[in-house]
Structure formats: structure tokens, C-alpha cells
Structure 1
Amino acid sequence: MKTIFLSALLLLQTGLLWAQNEAALIKAVKAKLDKVANYQASGNMSIDAAFIKAPASAITAYYKKPNRFAIKKQDGLNILPKGGVSINLSSLLGGENVTAVSAGTTVLNGAPVRIIKLLPLDDKSDVVLSTLYINEKAQLVQKAQVTTRDNGSYEMDMKYGKYAAWGLPDKVVFTFNTKEYKLPKGIAMEYDKGNSGKPQKPVDRKGTVTINYTGYSINKGVDDKVFGK
């Protein structure tokens, strides 16, 4: 009986230690991201989705704490899917409003990563589950898989370079199901009309949005007007 009790106690202590480790890692990653109060970034965006006709274009991205984000190109606002999609990793980390659960380790792009699942404590949260692949040594999120309440699931793959110390990627690739997503108003003008002359309905297949950033201006201030209403 004593042996069983000690074994159970050891398992409990190990579980608590893992939970503390996950919480500490999430806190460290978020602390790096929180150093960025705002930024303006230049880059290029390309969209690969069957029902959207949108050539690659130069863009300017704007971010301001806590979760304001916009991409602008010469002819107007971006056409990223709206709703549950969040390019702001800090908002996905959720602060005190999530429970972190270990899901093991794996190797991603040749580097070991920790897999941590985040469960929101807010019943009204649009995000139902986030699975993060974190490079523990660099304290960077390499990949995020997100399940939302109203917009299905999507993935983000990040590659880092010059701005890794700020937690800001050089490249972001979004992968999403084209049938599940709500699109911003005005996107009908961008639909590939095909031969019928009518906009095609979204089909059940994957689409990707790739953003390559060429430079960031960090914590220099961003005018609220760029975000619209």
C-alpha cells in the first residue's frame, strides 16, 4: 500500500512539474512577443485558393496591441479570411485565460519542438483549441494549429530570421479550408468567375496565404486610422 501511495504521489508531482514547465514556456514566449507594442511591416502576399482571383502583391502590415491588425495593398485592405484567423500569436497564447497541456515532442524543420495544447477557459472564445509547436531553446512558435467555433480550422507555419528576438517571423504561411471560412465584404469582386460569368462558391479544399516580410519598423507608433472602424 505504501509503495502504491508513493508511486501515485510521484506521478502527481511529475504532472504538476510538467504543467509548471508548460506554463513557464508559454510565459517566456509571450514575454518576447509582448515587447512589441506596435509595428509596421513591408512585404509581399500571395494567395492560392481556387475561388479567389488575387495576384501576388506588395503589402504593408500594421499591428497594435492588444489585437489590432491590418494588411493594406495599393488597391485596399487585405483579403485574408476573417473571424477566427489571428496573425497575432500573443492573442493565441491567451495569458491567464487558457489551460496548457503537454502533448509531447517532435522534430520540425530539423529542430526539436515541444507540442503544447491550449484550452481557452472562456466559454465564449471563438478559438476552441490551439496546438502550438514551440522551439524551446529559441522560445519561438514554429507552427500553430487552431480550431475555431465558427470558422473551422487553420494552420500557421512561421520561419524566423532577423527579427526572431522580437518573436516576429520573416515568413508566415496560412493554410485553411476554403469552404469553412467567412470572407471580408467586397471579396466577391476578387472571385474567379470562370467561364460562367458568375462567382464560384467556395469548395471544400485547402487554400494558402503566404506572407514574406522584408522589414519591420517596431515600436515607432501606428496611427489608429489604418485599422478603420
Structure 2
Amino acid sequence: MPRLTFFAQKQNAEDILNKVINKFEQVEDYEVDLTISADLQMVKMPDMKLKVFFKQPDKLKISSEGFAMVPKDGVNLNPLKFLKSEYSAVYVKNEKDEEEKINLDVIKIIPLSDTADYILSTVWIDTENYLVRKLETVTKRGVNVSSKFYYNNTAYALPSKVVVSFNQSGEVKPEQDEEKRFRQSLKGVVTLTYSGYKINQGLKDEFFK
């Protein structure tokens, strides 16, 4: 049997994704300081400093000294949270990340639910530590989102930095209204920097009320 065929059969996308999810679930709760820096086309935003608290499976609390309106999904550190709905996963290949000097399994994820807000996701997973290193997603609104994850400590699935770049696909037409043309042309990079993790402190449910 050719080696390539054997290697392809040996890889199971579901098994790999489950190992990534299981690693994230080892973190029962955490507290972390978060700085959000945005470099957006046509939009000026000051850096935001927040404190984020999380408890499994989905309790999240965000606090800040000043006014900060941040979508909770935007600071959720579980990059595979969208797998809660039905999906199909296909193993693509194994490749080398020359920047990080690690091997990555590449998996494509296709939603099976009509309510999913994405069309296709591609995820690059660290084969040794079962950490998501990169995630590319195409949403139903035509937004292409690419997220790069960096880790100071690979023992937990908690990144030290996430760099998110996005752009709206599709041609911008003169006859479109101003708001739609603005959304169509919006591009940018958002950097989330996490520091001072406090992990598995035993946060109580009442804290999140």
C-alpha cells in the first residue's frame, strides 16, 4: 500500500478536533487582562483594556474601567465554539509552519445547519499540542476572517495573542447605499493581547450573575 494512502486513511478529522476541544475543557475557569488594538480602514478606535472572566461551559464576564462595548464572541478563547452545531469535517493535509517550526494538521469544516453563520472554515492545528494555530472563516455575510493564535504556554489552550484580519468580499457598486458600501469596503486587523492568566481558581456561578 502506498505510504500517502495509508497516511490519509490514518488521519481522522473528528478525532483531532475532539482532542482540541478536550484540551480547552481542561480549563475550568480563568481570569485574564486583555488589551484590544484595532487598525481598521475608515475607522479610528483607541486601545481598549478589559478584564475577562470565564467559566465552563459558557459563562463569560467582561469588566473595564471605561466604556467598552465588546461582543462576547470576540473575546471567547475557544476558537472551535462554532462546532456546537452540526458540521462535516474533512482532513486535508499535514504541513510545516516555518515561522513557528511546528507541524500542522489542516482541516476544513462545513456547517450542516441552516442557522450557522459561516459557509466554510479551515483550521490549522498543532499536531503535538492540539492547539489551534490558525483559523480562516468565510461568513454568510461575505466577510473573510483570518485569525492567527500565539501561545506562551502550550500546556493550556489559552493564547497570549490573537491577530484577527478581515475584509468584506464582493464588489463595491456605486448604486449601493452608503452603509452597505461602507461595510463592503471595511478591512482591518484587530490584535488581542492576553496577560496575567489566573487559571482554575474555582470561580462561583454567582460571580457571573
Same fold (TM over 0.5): yes
**Match runs of 1:38-53 below 5 Å:** 38-53=29-44
Q: Residues 154-193 of structure 1, C-alpha deviation per residue, up to 9 Å, x if partnerless?
A: 111100013x22201000111112689xxxxxxxxxxxxx
Q: Residues 170-220 of structure 1, C-alpha deviation per residue, up to 9 Å, x if partnerless?
A: 00111112689xxxxxxxxxxxxxxxxxxx944614211101111222233
Counterparts of 2:26 and 2:166 in 1: how far apart (Å)?
Answer: 29
Q: 1:102 to 1:89 in 2, by over 3 A?
A: same
- Structure 2, unaligned stretches of length 5 or more? 171-180
Root mean square deviation of aligned Cα:
3.2
Q: How many residues align?
A: 192
Q: Quote the offset at 1:147 in angstroms.
A: 1.7
8 Å Cα contact 1:72-1:78 kept in structure 2: no
Counterparts of 2:160 and 2:70 in 1: how far apart (Å)?
Answer: 20
- Structure 1, unaligned stretches of length 5 or more? 1-5, 181-199
Counterparts of 2:62 and 2:167 in 1: how far apart (Å)?
Answer: 21
Letter in 2 for 1:168: L
Counterparts of 2:73 and 2:80 in 1: how far apart (Å)?
Answer: 17
**2:198 corresponds to 1:177:** no
What SS is found at the alignment partner of 1:174?
A: strand
What SS is found at the alignment partner of 2:185?
A: coil
Paired residue for 1:104, among 89, 93, 111? 93
**Match runs of 1:10-159 below 5 Å:** 17-18=10-11, 21-69=12-60, 71-79=62-70, 87-92=77-82, 94=83, 97-108=86-97, 109=99, 110-150=101-141, 152-159=143-150
Counterparts of 1:57 and 1:84 in 2: how far apart (Å)?
Answer: 13
Counterparts of 1:150 and 1:72 in 2: how far apart (Å)?
Answer: 30
1:184 alignment counterpart:
none
* Percent identity between the two aligned chains: 27
Please say which of residues 109-118 and 147-156 is displaced more in the overlay.
Answer: 147-156
Q: Residues 17-51 of structure 1, C-alpha deviation per residue, up to 9 Å, x if partnerless?
A: 43xx2222111111101122332210322111023
2:175 alignment counterpart:
none
